[in-house]
Amino acid sequence: MELAKITLRGQITIPVGIRKKLGVKDGDKVLFIEDDNGRIIIENSVKIVLKEAQEAFKGEAERVGLKNEQDVVDMINEMRQEKRCQNASDA
């Protein structure tokens, strides 16, 4: 259990052990989330955003036919080539 004091301006210092567990450092942002039982949870905002993005893209690789890493590399190379062609035609 860790303890933090609230300043007059409502600020707290997150104890080192908690910062390490959250994976946050100077300048990072944290989220305060209320769960279904009314408890407040502090989370690393980057991890939450990444998790939400992963959920949003779940199944998309299969939908567009990406089966392995080489398929992704090939798709990126194809997109880069299309962009080069588009830039050349715009010039």
Q: What is the pLDDT along the chain (91 residues), one digit of tens a residue?
A: 889 999 999 999 999 999 999 999 999 999 999 999 999 999 999 988 888 888 888 888 888 888 888 998 999 999 999 988 988 888 6
Distance CA 89, CA 16 (A): 55
Burial (0-12, 13-18, 19+ Cβ within 10 Å), 25: exposed
Q: Are 51 and 43 in contact (CB under 8 A)?
A: no
Note the pTM of the prediction, 2 decimals.
Answer: 0.56
3-state secondary structure of 11: coil
**How high is the pLDDT of residue 22?**
94
Positive or negative torsion for Cα 7, 10, 13, 14: positive
pLDDT at 39: 96
Burial of 48 (0-12, 13-18, 19+ CB in 10 A): middle
